[in-house]
Amino acid sequence: MIEIACPNCQKRYRLDDKFAGKKAKCKQCGAVLVIKAPTAGSTKPANPTPPNQAAAPADRVAKPNAKSRAAAIPPVVPVELVSPVQPAAPDHSDADIPTATAIPTATEIPTAIPVSDDPFAEIPFAEVVPSATPQAFVDPNLPRQRTPSPGNAASPGVSETLRGTTGHMKYEISQRPDFSIVKIDLPQGGKVYAEPSAMVSMTPTMHLEAGFKGGLGKTFGRLLGGESLIINTFTAQDGPGEVMFAGGAAGDVAYHRLNGNSLYLQRGAYMFNSEGVEVSGKWQGAKGFFSGEGLVLLKASGTGDIFFNSYGAIIPIDVTEGFMVDTGYIVAFEESLQYRVTVLPGLRTAGKIKSFFFGGEGLVCQFAGSGRVWIQTRQVKSFLAWVNAFRPTKSN
């Protein structure tokens, strides 16, 4: 005898052993049940408990449309709930089966929303499904690896809020990676220098002054580097102040602390910096030309804080033994790295130039030495190329 529970509505069924491995439709809600062969002495449910019922009291669970097609969609299962009862987990010995999953008495879940005289009184609030990271639908039947952190102890998770206190300010980068926004708290007299239009909001204690900064050469260099001529200076004149900064495109923000060393930034990546940091354009010669991303990289040097942004998520990678990045995906890199722009190596030597022309990857930036590279997961260029096809054509 096999005992299973409907993954959708928790209705329990007892079935003959001959149905093992087959699929059946739930009589109550129409969801598909996978009938698993009984493991020795175990009555494990065929599927993990859906979170909306595990997390919420049963009487709040509204299932008015159990017969509609929505019922066939497996519910959103948060990461924390999937992993301990992963159905595909190969290593469940008898000792591992938690006694709590033994079949309870079959309880019928109310299928209708309680009705009240006041039409607004009983509308339940939209449930927030708890999840470690904002993720797409998780398919409970697939053994997907869902680790929020890129596996590098030095680099935080891609969607984690970043907080810190520096000698100049307190900062918090939230809503990562899609709509990242930075909040900074400055003490009275504190200053930051920002690209125009980066500021989103600020307290009235902050004073804004626009101007050229760093002399003609540096100003012109910034212009070549894809940044504005003007740098705005924000000063917390009338007491401590707070400013929010965000990038132009939906994307991520990263923070880096400079300790006398330098950082190169790709065109348009610069957002703002604290005192002690000098930002200037740097002529890259042929290297910059071939990068296809503009002639000049911005160079930030000194001692202080710098913030930069991207289209797409930013992923920091610590390079120790050689690394290659498609030129369009570089956001920033440390000066301690040597770099050169080249076609994908290994192809030129054999005379297979075709990967350069047809391989799509085209030019890559080859890094050597040790240091950190920040890459972005999308590039605006690809989006523009795609949307270009939808532009209307001139009728003549």
Phi, psi of 105, rounded to the nearest 5 degrees: -65, 140
User: Smaller CB distance to another protein: residue 82 or 258?
Assistant: 82
Tell me whether residue 31 or residue 271 sits nearer to another protein (CB atom): 31
Closer to another protein by Cβ: residue 145 or 259: 145
> At its nearest, how many Å lie between another protein and the CB of residue 374?
11
Q: How far is the CB of 392 from another protein (least distance, A)?
A: 5
Return the number of the residue (24 or 224) whose C-beta is nearest another protein.
Answer: 24
Q: Which is nearer to another protein, 55 or 347 (CB)?
A: 347
b/e map 233-263, b = 16+ CB within 10 Å: ebbbeeeebbbbbbbeeebbbbbbebeeeeb
CB of 72 to another protein, least distance (A): 6
48 neighbors 91 (Cβ within 8 angstroms): no
Residue 48: closest CA among 15, 23, 81, 79: 81
- C-beta of 20: minimal distance to another protein in Å? 17
State in angstroms the smallest separation of the CB of 207 from another protein: 35
Q: How far is the CB of 25 from another protein (least distance, A)?
A: 6
By C-beta, is 197 or 382 nearer to another protein? Answer: 382
CA dihedral 85, 89, 90, 96 (to 10 degrees): -20
CA 182 and chain centroid, separation = 15
Residue closer to another protein (CB basis): 141 or 166: 141
Shortest approach of another protein to residue 343 CB, angstroms?
10
Bridge partners of 52, per DSSP, are none
CB closer to another protein out of 280 and 327: 327
Q: Which amino acid is at 98?
A: P
Least distance in angstroms from the C-beta of 395 to another protein = 8
User: What are the residues whose beta carbons fall under 8 Å from the beta carbon of 43, sequence distance 6 or more?
Assistant: 3, 101, 102, 103
Contact criterion met (CB below 8 Å) for 333 and 264 = yes
